[in-house]
Amino acid sequence: MDFERLTVEMRRLALEAGDLIMEIYAAPDFEVRSKSDASPVTEADEAADALISAGLRAAFPELALVTEEQAGSHDLEVSTFLIVDPLDGTKEFVQRRGDFTVNIAYVEAGVPVRGVVYAPAKGRLFYTDAAGVAVEETGAFAKEAAGPVRPMRVRSPDNGGLIVVASKSHRDQATDDYINQYAVTDMTSAGSSLKFCLVAAGEADLYPRLGRTMEWDTAAGHAVLAGAGGHVVRFDDLTPLGYGKSGFANPFFIAYAPGVELKGA
């Protein structure tokens, strides 16, 4: 894989999709429908999916592509592939909260090794560079060339006072019960894959997810966190979370900075 080219293409497509999404977000109204699993979908999801898919297929025709919005792609059995969630946090988008993201990742042998997470409403752009190091870009986000970046690194956690991030839209009692096993000095809520990026940026130590997710929800954020020195493990046995699973459904998981003393399930 040409990781330099991959980084350029994923970054550019995420930014272009973000522009499309924000055009629709700024409109006085937009259509919201329910998918078969009762989750919402909007014209922004579909427009961003079409743009990203076309760009990735043109640039990397040899790679399998899995996206949330394209029926039939979920039947693939692959271990090396591109995976896209064109608008993660659709509920945040519909409620006009800014915590939604564009997510593109490259999975190699079941491991997400490169990814980009773009939060257009918040003006935050996170990705892995060609060497796999996680960075946050600052500046105007020009399509043709990357601006200044700062390397991201997880912080050294204090188990006597952890910073925990949890979902805005999917928080439940089981999650609270698990978090209560830790000494927590600060709790923050965030939508979409931003939670991975907050741990990667050293703004949080721990993100437990005791709820339904799919691989396209997590792959890009997982890659960014890994590129910053963090880990994502299964909740049940604390083994690494893998990708290319049948149906692309995730088990419960924990994302964290090394040094956090993980509690059992």
- pLDDT confidence band for 172 (50 / 70 / 90): confident
CATH of the domain at 199: 3.40.190.80
**264 in a domain, yes or no?**
no
- The number of beta carbons lying within 10 Å of the beta carbon of residue 17 is 26
Do 39 and 116 belong together in one domain? yes
Q: What is the DSSP string of 45-63?
A: HHHHHHHHHHHHHHH-TTS
Percent of the chain with pLDDT over 70: 91
Q: Of 256, 255, 254, 257, which Cα lies nearest the Cα of 265?
A: 254
CATH of the domain at 124: 3.30.540.10
**Cα–Cα distance, 130 to 8 (Å, whole number):** 9
pLDDT per residue as tens digits for the range 73-97: 556 678 999 999 999 887 777 777 7
Model pLDDT, residue 112: 98
Do 107 and 230 belong together in one domain? no
* pLDDT for residue 52 is more than 60: yes
- The number of beta carbons lying within 10 Å of the beta carbon of residue 34 is 9
Do 178 and 251 belong together in one domain? yes
End-of-domain residue from the set 107, 126, 151: 151
- Coil vs helix vs strand at 74: helix
Q: Of 125, 131, 123, 116, which Cα lies nearest the Cα of 150?
A: 125
**Cα–Cα distance, 178 to 163 (Å, whole number):** 14
**156 in a domain, yes or no?**
no
**262 in a domain, yes or no?**
no
147 contacts: CB under 8 Å, gap ≥ 6: 137, 138, 139, 140, 141
Range 141-169 average pLDDT: 92
pLDDT per residue as tens digits for the range 89-133: 877 777 777 789 999 999 999 999 999 999 999 999 999 999 999
- Report the predicted TM-score, pTM, of the whole model to 2 decimal places: 0.93
Strand partners, 254: 208, 233
Model pLDDT, residue 72: 55
Do 116 and 210 belong together in one domain? no
What b/e sequence results for 240-258 when a residue is b if at least 16 CB atoms lie within 10 Å of its CB, and e otherwise?
ebbbbeeebebbbbbbbbe
Residue found by looking up tokens 């899995």 in the block = 66
**Cα–Cα distance, 143 to 236 (Å, whole number):** 41
- State which residues form the domain around 126: 3-151
Q: 161 with 184: CB under 8 angstroms?
A: yes
Model pLDDT, residue 30: 67
Do 125 and 45 belong together in one domain? yes
Tokens representing 146 are 């990357």
End-of-domain residue from the set 105, 128, 151: 151
222 contacts: CB under 8 Å, gap ≥ 6: 105, 112, 115, 196, 232, 241, 255
Do 33 and 93 belong together in one domain? yes
pLDDT per residue as tens digits for the range 5-37: 999 999 999 999 999 999 888 876 666 665 545
Q: Is the dihedral of CA 113, 114, 120, 122 positive or negative?
A: positive
Range 203-226 average pLDDT: 95
Q: How many domains does the chain have?
A: 2
**208 in a domain, yes or no?**
yes
Do 171 and 91 belong together in one domain? no
14 contacts: CB under 8 Å, gap ≥ 6: 52, 102, 103, 104, 116, 117, 118, 125, 127
